[in-house]
Copies of this chain bind each other. A is one copy, B any other.
Amino acid sequence: MPASGSYDIFLRGTFGIEPGGATGRKLRELAKIISVPRGSIAPLDHTHGSLVFIADGSTKLVAHASHDREQIVAFHFGGDLVAIPPDSEHAFSLMALKDSGLIIFPAREFYDRASAEPTIMRVLLDRFQTALFRCRDKALGLGRKNAQERLASFLLTMAERLDNDANGCRVLDLPMSRRDIGDSLGLTIETISRQFSELRAAGLVETSGRSRVVLKDPVALAQRAGHLQ
């Protein structure tokens, strides 16, 4: 169980407001602070929208087409905010990739109570905008890129987002499996594996173990990703 103090860190770190203030206390009443073990699904209320803060760990947001077809719609890491819609045409679930601490709010109530605080709303807006822009890039990849371009894009994006320490953003420890990468890129596990082999053969990446990836030539990788120069 994560320290209940993760709520304070959340409010101060993400929104820059004091947990002890009026808004801070009003929001606290809504928060459900839980820890989710690797491979488990976050217990969300699927009849209403949720807003989830990833206190620590990492998660995948999965959209379910039918029984056995899943599309990972986004990955999230410590510090991220995730908005999850109520189930309608499609169902969504949030699964932990590693043991994760989450703070779960009912979305509507959170917005109602937060709307008095301009700094919170401004941060929410920025986060949502970033999520939207990322999702559009993903749509571009899924609709118009081939397998190699998708994997190259993916690796560069992860390098950027996982660049927490001073690893020079070239050595990645991917928290997700090949299957997850496939489910995110709209490809199969075998295709992911084949594309890794090709990138390896071309000297653009090195891999060791199941999660370690070294980007040997990020520039060439960006070209293969179909990025603008």
Contact = CB atoms under 8 A, between A and B. Distances in A.
What is the total number of copies of this protein in its complex?
A: 2
A228 B139 contact: no
Given A118-B116, A125-B124, A129-B128, A65 B226 contact: yes
A121 B116 CA distance: 10
A183 B91 CA distance: 25
B90 A140 contact: yes
Contacts of A65: 140, 144-145, 149, 226
Nearest to A108: B126
B111 A122 contact: yes
Interface string A81-101: 001010111111000000000
25 contacts: A63-B136, A64-B228, A65-B226, A69-B226, A70-B144, A73-B139, A83-B129, A85-B136, A88-B228, A89-B137, A89-B222, A89-B225, A89-B228, A90-B137, A115-B121, A116-B118, A118-B118, A118-B121, A121-B121, A132-B135, A135-B139, A139-B139, A142-B142, A142-B143, A143-B183
